[in-house]
Amino acid sequence: MALPPLRYVDAFPVDQAGQRYICLRDPEGIVEHQIVLTPAAFFVATQLDGESDVRAIQRAFAQQFGGQEAAAEDILRIVNDLDEQGFLLSERFEARRQHVETAFLESALRPAYLAGKSYAEQAGALRAFLNEQFTTHSGGPGEAPGAQPGSGDPLRCLIAPHIDFHRGGHAYARAYLELFKQGRPDVVIIFGVAHISPPAPFVLTRKAFDTPFGALLTDQDLVRQLEAACSWDPYAYEMVHRTEHSIEFQAVMLSYLYGPNVRIVPILCSTFGSELGSVEPAHLSAVNTFLETCQDIVATLGKRVSVIAGADLAHVGRRFGDDFDISEPIVEGVAERTGKICSTSPRAMQTAFTVPSCKIATNAVSAVSIAFTPRSKRSPAVASPANCSTMITPMTRQAASFRLRMWLSPEP
């Protein structure tokens, strides 16, 4: 009898007491805890394809481990443990998924998923930590936000990181200080990266975003306008918003600066189709219609609007399939290349990266650029971001080594 298949999960190595283990994490967040497997147990897990039975796994195990046999009861115990923990596609997991999805979709509030996990859950502790990111010894700008934001026109476009605060807090500080000093927006359209990459170019949500500083409300009228511009169901993959960090970190920073005094339009950016190739997003009809609606909103809205792309533009090192370690020349080269690319065009950004998550990140940046480029000034080849007042924050060595996903070959 075929055994249930392993779900799509993140896998990465951990070392404990001099021994190598493999940690599994659920990128969907249906299962919130992680589990650690021995290399042998991990090998068994990788054989769970929905077609293999116990005997087939025993043969594969013997081939992998030099003839060593795995007892049937050991294989079944591993399978049962994985199923109990929610890492197999089974009826047990589907019941768990349904419970989580129902609770999220019926709520008007998107919880601060990473509060207490990636950053402090208490407002006071989080504020103290973020204050520290603005200091020079933390790599920040050496200037803290004042009591009141600037009184001028708000920054039109901002490209900020979506790496965690502990690695990239100083880069957030440099970005959001510029936003704060220029003037408070009434509405912020946020393009985030959908790392799971659902088969829809953009994913909307009407939910408010909770943060330790309070909830940021979405602008319901603007969300409805964007919804009407979609030739696909923009809520079909709304669950992706539940655990996606690329917008959550921007919401935390906005709430840190302005409290509840800004509204947001959260938009997750996915792939623009495998047929994209070297074609820029503005030349894909459905994407272009959506972005032109964003442009119309910005042009006609009486409110003060800023647009933010939460996008890490460099994923470098062994965690991302490279065969080299991070070094100072590598960091300098990435910084130089990223700066050149971001100063040119969405097409250059689309064609310069091969890592899928970078492609999606540059989709988000391109969307911001196109949404702010007057149609009369677009050329057939390039949608130039030259008319945007944009702050691009630097990547760091720590950001460059941030993990995405890694599948491992088990070690005997």
Domain boundaries, the chain: 10-102, 109-400
Tens digits of per-residue pLDDT, 86-119?
A: 999 999 999 999 999 999 999 999 999 999 999 9
β-bridge pairing 208-209 and 109-110: parallel
- Confidence at residue 394, expressed as pLDDT on a 0 to 100 scale: 32
β-bridge pairing 157-160 and 305-310: parallel
Among the listed residues 297, 267, 266, 280, the one whose alpha carbon sits nearest the alpha carbon of residue 370: 280
Dist. CA 50–CA 38, nearest whole Å: 22
Tens digits of per-residue pLDDT, 371-389?
A: 555 554 443 322 222 223 3
- Confidence at residue 281, expressed as pLDDT on a 0 to 100 scale: 62
Question: Which pair of structure tokens corresponds to residue 135?
Answer: 């200091």
β-bridge pairing 10-16 and 19-25: antiparallel
Instruction: Write out the H or E segment, with its range, that includes residue 227.
Output: helix 220-228
The dihedral over CA atoms of 222, 227, 229, 230, expressed in degrees to the nearest 10, equals 150
Question: Cβ distance 204 to 110 under 8 Å?
Answer: no
> Measuring CA to CA, how many Å separate 333 from each of 65, 328, 406?
41, 9, 24
Q: What angle do CA 338, 367, 238 make, to 5 degrees?
A: 115
Q: Which residue has the higher pLDDT, 45 or 315?
A: 45
Q: Which residue has the higher pLDDT, 410 or 365?
A: 365
Dist. CA 210–CA 255, nearest whole Å: 9
254-263, 274-283, 293-302, 354-363: least confident range: 354-363
CATH class entry, domain 109-400: alpha beta
60-69, 234-243, 361-370: least confident range: 361-370
In this structure, which topology does domain 10-102 adopt according to CATH? Arc Repressor Mutant, subunit A (1.10.10)
- Model confidence at 342: pLDDT above 60: yes
- Model confidence at 236: pLDDT above 60: yes
* DSSP codes of every residue in 42-53: HHHHHT-SSS--
Give the position of tokens 């920073």.
Answer: 253
Question: Cβ distance 248 to 29 under 8 Å?
Answer: no
Among the listed residues 188, 192, 181, the one whose alpha carbon sits nearest the alpha carbon of residue 216: 188
Q: What angle do CA 250, 256, 261 make, to 5 degrees?
A: 90
Q: Which residues pair with 14 in a beta bridge?
A: 21
The mean pLDDT of the chain is 82
Asked whether the domain spanning 109-400 has the same topology as the one spanning 10-102, the reply is no
> Measuring CA to CA, how many Å separate 82 from each of 8, 140, 186, 404?
13, 43, 47, 22
Q: Which residue has the higher pLDDT, 145 or 399?
A: 145
pLDDT band, residue 284 (cuts 50/70/90): confident
Under DSSP, is residue 76 helix (H, G, I), strand (E, B) or coil?
A: helix
Tens digits of per-residue pLDDT, 35-60?
A: 999 999 999 999 999 999 999 999 99
Dist. CA 264–CA 182, nearest whole Å: 18
pLDDT band, residue 65 (cuts 50/70/90): very high
